């Protein structure tokens, strides 16, 4: 009797926790009316896209959103029983890493092969890119003429000392960019380049891509390196306080004279453990459809991968450009080396 | 012993002498294992159910941590050498400086404000009792976003200065908010309430007679504070600072946004950037060992002292009444942390919300809020219970195994949530797949994944992450209940369970409440573990903030951020309310 209060509380809590354990919260439907996504995309606008897919095919989309590396760990830990059907990431290196860990299965789709250019997909069909984004140079039109700009390499020249804005080397977009320079120039030249970048920074790296662009407009520096869709989305949202910035900020596509502007992609592949294969295949093909391509271009200002689908006017206004066609295996391989180079060069 | 307060250590030593005498008189007690004789009755119990349960709980929590530590047996690759050659020194220095700054900052703010509201009366002092807790509801990454937005070169303050005075870049001074110092200020502003809460609890519960005696002997207020109140509150203060520091060490979102290289950022660069999870886990193990050493050091430094009160306080300490400039100063000292840690960031987000927030009253939003509340509520109940169990085990057990296991189990608070999440995924995956194979081979049925991807996995991740909050809170409450009380009760024939029920539970109610509230608020704010371990389509408010913020859409993120703060306020207000009514009840005694 004396211990009953304590024990009763304890038992109640235990029972509650047991009920939680017993509740099978995993969707293990064998029917092909559902597709389970693990996705590293985190754009709120994608919800509408999933709804559109359901309206078209009757297949509902379940999703877990988290960082790509964490999701890859989760799939690996869950093993053959993992509920995942499709993995989506926002960096080519991550797709290649998932393939190397044997987490994908090939999809033999004529539609995808026909619509997605060869350099944006795995030769064996394990994954493909469905949007691309360019890492470009933003400049303040009052202080920099586009003729003064040429390449990523040029940004490391002493003439830009104290004028450059770019975020931390912890950011994957910068790691990929450095990996691209590494692929083109070799290790020693890339380290010298990274040293030049670090020396030219107007302030210690902080904030995100949008922060760098805003800082150029405010006058903290003259040049910023950032992805295209951040600026595209600012223009799309068209907030009154941002409008003066649209006039003053120019977009420059570097390295048009040689390998082209550095591109990264958002891609997807069918998981090896996939149970809803038919639904997953339909979902993947849908990603390459005109409807989906338009959606990503319109709502998130990304570049479509399907040639016949145009970029939205605000993005197309920056002009056409030559793209660096670096393949994903190089991405995956070079990221680690790139980060080590950035460490040595003092790019925080 | 019950009617008056005696000298602290003196009376408990006297009680033990009495007990020893009583014991000798009734003959030797059974001592089958020949264990060394211990001083107090409560500590003489052999391995029992409580310790068994504590060991099981600690083992469960230790599982993910052991998964991390397991990496130490792996090969030491080139990555670690590279880090040692390049950035590791700077990283260690940054981490250390941040710990020192946050430690000092939370100590000064937390203890200072706690003593002001506990021992003094000045205009607003009763209101500050709960106002000072508010920054607790503010996640560190959210306050980071708010201040970065406010104080950046392109932000409203600096832009206003430039346009008003017609100055350009570098022609005026503005407090720079970046790097280690900036991040430390942010952490201090949202983490000092841990110290405040625990310290204030300790000050309020302190025996009025002792402080009165000190005053009667001519001690000035500050002297009484320094010589009596502060040392007596030390376990609570130490627990609060330890929590603040562990939270600082575990943070990723804010330091990443501020561009500071700390131990956590390096763990993630190594794992994600260099694709070397083994080296990342080895670094995380290093962090674990560092925290363990820190905790042991603190514990050792006060192991020779015993801080407890001998009876329930019969009346409140007569407060110092402050007037004039002293009252003004006290008011400012309490108002500043509340304004900077709560009002300013809330104002920034309110203004964003007005300009272009998320749709608040949508069905989706209600689901997010419900999910957050569900997780936080369940976790608060569950983790407080386990924390209380472990704190009890620490109190009654001298067994090194139990004590060691409990200490180890509470280290998770210093681990980044992502590391814990992976530490949960791996053993659960092994268990599920093993069970599935077993069931298939014996019964021909597939069980699939039972634990992985369930709310139970999320709860375990929370337990690992936040157990320290509960255990430390309850333990610091226990530290103020003298062992002689237990001894006396046992001597009067009460069993251990009755001691828990009739002595500990009422005396610990404040600590238990504090523990539950802290866990609740922490879970509301938690992001990485939720993100990685959660079931399908299970979004919370914190996830929503993250999605928008990582997409650099702070305006939309502001809505969910405000909601986290608003919902986080519920337990904070409940806590302060019940603390108040408890004190009022005592005052009437």
Tens of pLDDT, residue by residue over B235-260, are 889 888 988 998 999 888 888 888 88
State both tokens at B105. Answer: 């900052």
pLDDT at B300: 74
Distance CA B530, CA B508 (A): 30
Average pLDDT over residues A122-145: 95
Of B148, B381, B536, the CB nearest to A63: B536
CA B197 to chain centre: 10
- Contact list, A215 vs chain B (CB under 8 Å): 152-154
Of A21, A214, A332, the CB nearest to B454: A21
Distance CA A61, CA A70 (A): 20
Of B148, B259, B547, the CB nearest to A44: B547
How does strand A249-252 pair with strand A86-89?
unpaired
Helices H / strands E in chain A, number of each: 14, 10
pLDDT tens digits, one per residue of B136-176: 888 888 899 899 889 888 888 888 898 899 888 888 888 87
- Contact of B477 with B199, CB cutoff 8 Å: no
Of A7, A13, A207, the CB nearest to B148: A207
Kindly tell me the sign of the dihedral angle through the C-alpha atoms of A309, A314, A318, A324.
Answer: negative
Mutate to test the interface with A, among B275, B463, B494 (most CBs of A within 10 A): B275
- Please state, rounded to an integer, the average pLDDT across all residues of chain A: 88
State both tokens at B37. Answer: 């004789």
- B159 CB near a chain A CB, below 8 Å? yes
- Please state, rounded to an integer, the average pLDDT across all residues of chain B: 82
**Cα B238–B489–B484 angle (5° rounding)?**
40
- Contact list, A28 vs chain B (CB under 8 Å): 448-449
- Contact list, B550 vs chain A (CB under 8 Å): 42
A77–B355 CB contact, under 8 Å: no
> How far does the CA of residue B523 sit from the closest CA of chain A (Å)?
17
Q: What percent of chain B has pLDDT over 90?
A: 24
- Alpha-carbon separation of residue B353 from A225, B347, B356, B359, B388 (angstroms): 29, 10, 5, 10, 40
- B258 CB near a chain A CB, below 8 Å? yes
pLDDT tens digits, one per residue of B22-57: 443 333 444 434 333 344 444 445 557 777 888 888
Distance CA B466, CA B413 (A): 6
Residue B575 has pLDDT above 80, yes or no: no
A20–B456 CB contact, under 8 Å: yes
Gyration radius (Cα) of chain B, Å: 25
Q: What dihedral angle (degrees, nearest 10) is formed by the CA atoms of B81, B85, B88, B90?
A: 180
Distance CA B502, CA A304 (A): 69
User: Which runs of consecutive H residues, i.e. helices, occur in B444-553?
Assistant: 455-478, 483-491, 496-499, 505-525, 528-533, 541-550
> How far does the CA of residue B521 sit from the closest CA of chain A (Å)?
20
Of A204, A61, A152, give the one whose Cα is nearest residue B176: A204
State both tokens at A90. Answer: 């926002």
Average pLDDT over residues A122-150: 95
How many CB atoms neighbour CB B420 within 10 A?
30
pLDDT tens digits, one per residue of B401-437: 888 888 888 888 888 888 888 888 888 999 999 999 9
Helix axes B363-396 and B49-69, enclosed angle (nearest 10)? 120
Average pLDDT over residues B540-569: 84
Average pLDDT over residues A125-136: 95
| Residue with the larger pLDDT of the pair B338 and B296 | B338
Q: Where are the domains of chain A?
A: 27-132+263-310, 133-262+322-345
Q: Which residue of B has its CA nearest to A36?
A: B536
- B93 CB near a chain A CB, below 8 Å? no
Domains A27-132+263-310 and A133-262+322-345 fall in the same CATH topology: yes
Q: Which of A61-65, B76-80, B86-90 has the lowest mean pLDDT?
A: B76-80
Of B261, B436, B495, the CB nearest to A348: B261
pLDDT at B586: 56
- Contact list, B546 vs chain A (CB under 8 Å): 42
- Alpha-carbon separation of residue A118 from A84, A184, A304, A332 (angstroms): 26, 20, 14, 18
Q: Which of A225-229, A292-296, B83-87, B276-280 has the lowest mean pLDDT?
A: B276-280
- Contact of B484 with B43, CB cutoff 8 Å: no
A218–B159 CB contact, under 8 Å: yes
- Residue range A27-132+263-310 in CATH 3.40.190.10: yes
Q: Which of A12-26, A219-233, A277-291, B104-118 has the lowest mean pLDDT?
A: A12-26
- B259 CB near a chain A CB, below 8 Å? yes
State both tokens at B568. Answer: 């986080």
Residue A297 has pLDDT above 50, yes or no: yes
Of A65, A66, A220, the CB nearest to B169: A220
pLDDT tens digits, one per residue of A318-329: 999 999 988 877
**E strand segments, B225-334:** 320-321
Region for B289 from its dihedrals, namely left if φ exceeds 0, alpha if ψ lies in -120 to 50, beta otherwise: alpha
Residue A314 has pLDDT above 70, yes or no: yes
- Alpha-carbon separation of residue A28 from A38, A62, A84, B449 (angstroms): 14, 11, 10, 9
How does strand B320-321 pair with strand B120-121?
parallel
pLDDT at B302: 65
pLDDT at A11: 54
Helix (H, G, I), strand (E, B) or coil at A127: coil
Distance CA B373, CA B367 (A): 10
Global model pTM greater than 0.90:
no
pLDDT at B22: 40
Q: What percent of chain B has pLDDT over 70?
A: 86
Of A166, A174, A65, A218, give the one whose Cα is nearest residue B550: A65
Residue B9 has pLDDT above 60, yes or no: no
Mutate to test the interface with B, among A5, A54, A205, A336 (most CBs of B within 10 A): A336
Question: DSSP label at A324?
Answer: P
Of A43, A77, A204, the CB nearest to B425: A77
How does strand A34-39 pair with strand A86-89?
parallel
A339–B495 CB contact, under 8 Å: no
> How far does the CA of residue B313 sit from the closest CA of chain A (Å)?
25
Q: B423: which residues sit within 8 A by CB, 6+ positions away?
A: B63, B64, B65, B67, B68, B415, B464
CA B25 to chain centre: 46
Q: Which residue of A has its CA nearest to B451?
A: A21
ipTM (interface predicted TM):
0.81
Q: B148: which residues sit within 8 A by CB, 6+ positions away?
A: A206, A207, A211, B155, B177, B257, B258
**Cα B319–B323–B327 angle (5° rounding)?**
85
Window B:296-315, CB contacts with A under 8 Å? none
- Contact list, A35 vs chain B (CB under 8 Å): none
pLDDT tens digits, one per residue of B319-333: 788 889 999 999 999
With bands split at pLDDT 50, 70 and 90, how would you rate the model's confidence at B225? Answer: confident
Distance CA B429, CA B422 (A): 10
- Residue range A133-262+322-345 in CATH 3.40.50.450: no
pLDDT at A131: 95
Residue B5 has pLDDT above 60, yes or no: no
């Amino acid at each position: 009797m004396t211990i009953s209060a304590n024990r009763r509380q304890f038992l109640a809590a235990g029972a509650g926790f047991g009920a939680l354990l017993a509740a099978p919260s995993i969707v293990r439907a064998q029917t092909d009316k559902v597709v389970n996504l693990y996705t590293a995309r985190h754009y709120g606008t994608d919800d509408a896209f999933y709804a559109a897919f359901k309206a078209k095919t009757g297949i509902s989309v379940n999703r877990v959103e988290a960082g790509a590396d964490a999701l890859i760990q989760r799939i690996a830990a869950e093993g053959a029983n993992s509920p995942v059907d499709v993995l989506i990431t926002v960096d080519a290196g991550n797709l290649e890493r998932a393939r190397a860990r044997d987490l994908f299965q090939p999809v033999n789709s004529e539609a995808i092969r026909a619509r997605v250019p060869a350099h944006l997909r795995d030769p064996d069909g394990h994954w493909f890119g469905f949007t691309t984004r360019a890492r470009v140079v933003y400049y303040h039109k009052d202080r920099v003429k586009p003729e003064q700009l040429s390449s990523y390499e040029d940004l490391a020249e002493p003439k830009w000392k104290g004028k450059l804005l770019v975020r931390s080397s912890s950011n994957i977009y910068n790691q990929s960019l450095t990996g691209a320079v590494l692929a083109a120039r070799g290790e020693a030249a890339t380290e010298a380049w990274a040293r030049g970048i670090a020396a030219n920074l107007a302030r210690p790296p902080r904030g995100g891509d949008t922060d760098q662009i805003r800082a150029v407009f405010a006058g903290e520096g003259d040049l910023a390196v950032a992805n295209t869709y951040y600026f595209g989305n600012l223009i799309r949202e068209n907030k009154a306080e941002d409008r003066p910035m649209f006039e003053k900020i120019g977009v420059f596509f570097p390295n048009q004279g040689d390998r082209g502007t550095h591109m990264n992609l958002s891609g997807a592949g069918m998981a090896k453990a996939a149970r809803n294969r038919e639904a997953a295949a339909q979902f993947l093909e849908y990603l390459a459809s005109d409807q989906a391509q338009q959606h990503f271009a319109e709502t998130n200002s990304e570049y479509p991968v399907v040639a016949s689908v145009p970029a939205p006017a605000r993005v197309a206004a920056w002009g056409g450009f030559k793209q660096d066609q670096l393949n994903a295996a190089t991405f995956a391989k070079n990221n680690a080396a790139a980060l080590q180079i950035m460490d040595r060069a003092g790019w925080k | 012993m019950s009617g008056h307060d005696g000298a602290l250590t003196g009376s408990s030593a006297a009680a033990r002498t009495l007990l020893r005498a009583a014991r000798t008189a009734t003959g030797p007690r059974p001592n089958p294992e020949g264990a060394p004789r211990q001083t107090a009755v409560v500590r003489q119990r052999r391995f029992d159910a409580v310790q068994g349960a504590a060991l099981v709980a600690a083992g469960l929590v230790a599982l993910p941590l052991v998964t991390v530590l397991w990496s130490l047996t792996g090969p030491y690759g080139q990555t670690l050498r590279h880090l040692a050659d390049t950035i590791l020194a700077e990283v260690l220095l940054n981490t250390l400086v941040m710990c020192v700054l946050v430690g000092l900052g939370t100590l000064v703010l937390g203890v200072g404000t706690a003593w002001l509201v506990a021992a003094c009366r000045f205009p607003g002092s009763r209101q500050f009792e709960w106002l000072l807790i508010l920054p607790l509801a503010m996640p560190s990454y959210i306050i980071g976003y708010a201040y970065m937005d406010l104080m950046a070169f392109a932000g409203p303050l600096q832009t206003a200065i430039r346009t008003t005075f017609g100055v350009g870049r570098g022609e005026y001074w503005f407090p720079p908010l970046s790097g280690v110092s900036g991040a430390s200020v942010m952490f201090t502003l949202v983490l000092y309430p841990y110290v405040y809460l625990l310290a204030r609890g300790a000050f309020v519960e302190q025996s009025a007679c002792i402080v009165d005696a000190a005053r009667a002997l001519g001690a000035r207020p500050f002297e009484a504070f320094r010589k009596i109140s502060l040392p007596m509150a030390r376990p609570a203060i130490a627990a609060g600072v330890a929590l603040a520091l562990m939270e600082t060490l575990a943070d990723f979102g804010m330091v990443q946004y501020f561009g500071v290289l700390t131990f956590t950022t390096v763990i993630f660069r190594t794992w994600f950037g260099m694709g070397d999870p083994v080296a990342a886990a080895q670094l995380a193990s290093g962090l674990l060992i560092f925290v363990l050493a820190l905790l042991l050091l603190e514990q050792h430094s006060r192991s020779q002292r015993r801080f407890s009160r001998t009876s329930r306080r019969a009346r409140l300490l007569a407060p110092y009444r402050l007037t004039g400039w002293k009252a003004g100063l006290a008011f400012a000292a309490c108002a500043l942390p509340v304004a900077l840690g709560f009002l300013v960031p809330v104002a920034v987000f309110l203004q964003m919300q007005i300009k272009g927030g998320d749709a608040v009253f949508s069905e989706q939003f209600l689901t997010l809020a419900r999910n957050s509340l569900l997780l936080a509520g369940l976790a608060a109940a569950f983790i407080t219970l386990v924390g209380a169990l472990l704190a009890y085990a620490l109190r009654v057990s001298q067994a090194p195994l139990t004590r060691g296991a409990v200490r180890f189990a509470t280290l998770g608070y210093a681990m980044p949530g992502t590391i814990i999440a992976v530490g949960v995924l791996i053993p659960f995956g092994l268990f599920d797949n093993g069970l599935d194979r077993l069931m298939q081979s014996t019964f021909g049925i597939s069980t699939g994944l039972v634990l992985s991807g369930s709310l139970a996995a999320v709860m375990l991740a929370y337990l690992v992450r936040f157990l320290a909050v509960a255990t430390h809170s309850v333990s610091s409450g226990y530290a103020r209940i003298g062992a002689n009380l237990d001894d006396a009760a046992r001597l009067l024939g009460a069993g251990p369970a009755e001691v828990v029920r009739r002595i500990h539970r009422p005396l610990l109610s404040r600590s238990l409440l504090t523990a539950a509230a802290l866990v609740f608020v922490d879970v509301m704010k938690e992001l990485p573990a939720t993100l990685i371990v959660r079931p399908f389509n299970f979004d919370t408010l914190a996830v929503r903030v993250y999605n928008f913020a990582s997409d650099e859409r702070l305006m939309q993120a502001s809505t969910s951020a405000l909601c986290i703060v608003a919902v986080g306020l519920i337990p904070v207000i409940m806590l302060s309310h019940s603390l108040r009514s408890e004190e009022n009840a005592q005052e009437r005694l």
